[in-house]
Homo-oligomer: A and B are copies of this chain.
């Protein structure tokens, strides 16, 4: 049994879902752990993780619109130091995932046919985001 640590830096172009399935799978490949548990951890409070459909691009756009309606910039917040997208970003982070753990079998994450892994950027401006990766197994 062994483990490996790593990190992944993802550039975003402002609010929206960025698929990271391939980047994570490539990192996993390099670790040569074929059976085990992979964990992806987002080191930010205004960006987060989620797993959802990656076939129809319309799903991605509906997801983006939905969360912008659920945590709207138009509402008044006590915390608005960095602009109207500041607090909604923290709320969307709380509503989605900061960490994801996925079993690994035969060298691959056991994602379902339609599942893709996404970094969800919640700020209006482009950012560079860092994800911590960990895998344990054999």
Contact = CB atoms under 8 A, between A and B. Distances in A.
A45 B41 contact: no
Interface in A18-64: 35-37, 39, 41, 43-45, 50-53, 56, 58-59, 61-63
Contacts of A93: 52
Contacts of A37: 3, 37, 39, 134, 136
A36 B1 contact: no
A101 B115 CA distance: 19
B98 A95 contact: no
A111 B41 CA distance: 9
Count identical subunits in the complex.
Answer: 3
B45 A52 contact: yes
Contacts of A62: 77-79, 87, 90-91
B52 A5 contact: no
Interface of A: 1-3, 5, 35-37, 39, 41, 43-45, 50-53, 56, 58-59, 61-63, 66-67, 70-71, 77-79, 81, 87, 90-91, 93-103, 105, 110-112, 114-115, 130, 132-134, 136-138
